[in-house]
Structure 1
Amino acid sequence: MALSKPRVPDPVQNEPVIGQHYLVCGSEGCEKNCLFYCNPCHRQMCEQCRDEHQKSPDTKKHEVVPYRQRKRQLPVEKCKDHPTKDIDMICEDCQVQVCSKCVIQDHQKHTLNDLETIFSEKFTLCLDEIYKIHQYFLPTSHDIQEDIKDNFKEIKATIDKIRTSIKAKAESLKRLVDTVASDEIERVNKMEESLEERLKSQDKTYQDYISYLEELVREFNGYLSSTKVHSNPLILSQPDQLKIKPIPKTIIPVPPVFNAGQYSKEDVSKLLGRVTAPDTKPENRKIKPMETASTQLKPTEQQRIQNREKSDVKRTLSLSSSVTKVREYTVPDVSSVYHISLGKAGRLWASDSKGNLVKTDLQGNQLQKIQTNGGYGYHIVTHDGDLIYTDRKNKVINTITLNNTITEFNKTVDWEPISIHSSHINGDILVGMIKDGEAKVTRYNKKGKEIQNIQSDNKGQGLYSDPHYITENINGDVCTSDYKKHAVVVVNKSGQHRFSYTGQGSQFNPFGICTDLLGHILVCSSPLFLMSGDSTVYLLDQHGQFLFLILTEQLRFYLGLCVADENNLHVGQYNTNTVTVYKYLQ
């Protein structure tokens, strides 16, 4: 199966120029892996065909190089002045592209360069730049976008706290004003009571004096009405007895005066406090340099040594320009390979739709078999090497330890568990579940305690319909293959929806899904109900950007995927127990 012709990058989708199928020898009738390339013939070949090519008298002097060092074939363009000749050189002095006749006529003493060599170098440079964009510039820019989103949240949280503080301070000032006003009113009330007491005393003084005058009038009238001279008090009274006491003197009380306080809005602002711009100079966002750009796991102490080794490997890994078939092996006692779970020491588990779950080595030797209820992505090997799988019928999650003991991990009560994944970041267990038309992903810790439910986006809309395969990326994203939604649904580790990938135009029917050490998302899409149609394996970056199709076959229906420790892709198929291993990283 030959590579499809390299394509010019699509300015809309920004696709990289890269092969879509695994590379085979270009010799007629030979289907071995292509490893070499003849630059003069522009022919790809296996090792055996390379040896024959170099032994032939006609081609023994041809430049045969490793495939990745090949010269790209120059597009054919005829010379305008000499229509029978191809343009294949460039005149450095005139800076024009010329053919051999042009050289003889006009450029004999000029500096000439091979146009094919220049084209190949520039072509390779373009590929390198596209690779850098997808491997560094796009991911780094997406990471900065995520930082900006976090900044949005941080700023909003800080401003909300400031609003709350302002309102609380204002309420405190209001309470203080009310307290001061209450104290002043109480003082005024006491002043009023004192003045009233004084006025009441004065009133009583005059009431007593009026009573005295009235009594004096009655007494004087008695003197005037007496008919007896010898006993008339008027005649016998002393001079002082007829003298009237003076009117009592009293003081006019002076009421208190309210001296209104003098204050301004500025005074109130000083009491309340002010929001000011920070004195700190804002820093430039840190952009990680290209040579150290990589998404790192946050390991536990137990994983640090292993992750350092992976990190060393990761720095040397990159996407290959071709996909190479490494080997094939069969899994005994399964009718199809719906799902693959990678174990330790080259061991893996594979299952079909009939409930057959088989443990095998990489040579296809059966090591263990158990009967389950079947399904799709319903089993996974944990970091400790145990197999954990869902029992959809009984709504239970079971664990098979290394000594083959089956224990119950957890009950899912009313929910049917249909897919499962064990996090290699922290050991959490992620389970896709369905119930009465609803679907969710539940996170458990290693002890089986439920710690998170992911079900809806920030608008309250359901994220899932049929999450039948599930995995986790190196940045903690939860990636779910949802058959009914025809989408790969990705949320971050907090459960917030990041993106949904729905294919490249044609109907997208996702099955097996996995991720690799570089954060790529690999997902296979097969025809609806596994009938006729295209079957493909998509490669996405961790932000949902389509990179390219790894495999494209009409006669094979891809179902199960996993990336093994040697960074090779294991692909299971429908209606056969064959697993094919491909190398797509170098």
Structure 2
Amino acid sequence: MHPRRSAQEVLLCDLCETVPLQSHCELCNINLCKACVGEHLSDSSKKHHVMPYLQRKSTPNYPKCLKHVEKHCELHCENCDIPVCIKCVSSGKHEGHKLSEFLEKLSAKTQNLQKDLEELETRIYPRYEEMASSIQTEKADIETNYGKLTTAAEKEGEILHREITAIVNQRKSAIQEMKNKHLSTLNKNTEEITQKMAELKQIISDLKSILKSNDVSLTSTYKSRNSEFRTLPSKVRVTFPSFTPQKINKDQFNEMFGSLSPLSINTEHGDTMKSAKAVSFPPVKPLLDEPRLTATIDTGYRELYSVSCLSEDQVWTRGNNKTIKLLNLQSKLLTSIKTKSGYWPRDITVTRDGDLVYTDSSNNTVNLIKNKKLQTVITLQGWSPRFVCCTVVNDLLVIMISDDKQSKVVRYSGSTEKQSIQFDGQGRPLYSSGYNYKYISENRNLDICVADFDASAVVVVNQSGKLRFRYTGHPSNTKQSFTPVGITTDSQSHILTADHNNDRIHILDQDGQFLRYIHCDLRAPFGLCVDIRDNLFVAECYTAKVKKIQYL
């Protein structure tokens, strides 16, 4: 700090440097005493702006001239686009050039700076924040998403392991069967030889007795059997079976295990205001603000309980009689199937191959209709099959009730039981007891979702059978308590369940968070299904109509 600018001294005029200052020229950024103001204003080449010192504004420090270090640059040469001082101008080097006051140039640049600041603060920086937040969200999802991949790989390994174990057990069973047959054959051959040996011993003993005896009649009546025994009994020769192991082609085995798509990392270039994402994900279908009714099917039943999609415009339905109907959107009957037992089917579903499956609790069977031919694939003892769905790998998930009213979910591959889900980690029943409705569906993340009517809850377990959550309704105003009946899932892993008594559908995300309702003037909705384009089909129980609804 200059000695005369110290806090202990009076501030002096910048021109005479002897008299205390009183005024300030904002244009020239100098302090003046009363006597020097007149002299300063005599310079008519500038539009000076002199004010009392205490009223001065905060003025910028002019840059020092690079050629005349004792001077400040108060002007700006537009031609050379550089700041210049008075000496630079008087030197003639800028003769004929357009000169502007430095403060005017500074004001224009200040406006540009203000615009830059505004753009950075209001547009650019928020987009960077958005990108950073998006990446943090993706990073947070890494454990979950890669965990699902790992679980899927482990699941595939378990399936293959079970298949291999089944094949090994089949081979072992066949080996044991051949062993038993081999041993039985040898035992039979041994019995035959032993019997002949016993006869021979008796004949030898008899001959010795005759030779020792004086009874002539024994000798005269003796008949030789040696010729009979000279032909030895047949000896069974059995060749041991052999096992020839198949050479394993690792590439083919890897293909059989399933494929893992490569990690796709793309960088989007171009519009810098667009949020570039490192990893591409499939597009998300948002929920419509107002779902739309697009078709209504009259089924002809007195009461309707289940609907299952065969295609976008054909659905299987089951109601209060023994006939299962295939109808199109115009309510035209395309095909009908009658149950083998003559009783109502308990539930229906369509397999990945387009075949119809129905459960029959009157004879405890699960039945498949393939090429118009009926075959019973599962017959139960002590348990009654109720509700059923087909999984992504074409397994069947069957809700069944025991004679003492216990409930469980059983997974079948064909007629082979693969999994049973009945209790939670503390040994408590996952599902309510009783014979009421427990519709079932598998979600895209392989969760198993059950609408448990008696428990007034949607019960969701993961593919291993571990409880994930229970949804007991949304705490909004309702006519009656939550009454879940039909249940289905869509391509977005939404869970949709029919709230029968409240005439609406609840839409949940895959973690059980309520999203919204579907109303569409529904009356007592019951069974649900979703087609490949995520159109919802709702079976209304008492009107016996199926309503097709677009909600995505």
Instruction: Give the TM-score, by structure 1 length.
Output: 0.45
Instruction: Give the TM-score, by structure 2 length.
Output: 0.48
Q: Answer 1 or 2: higher relative contact order, Cα 8 Å, separation at least 6.
A: 1
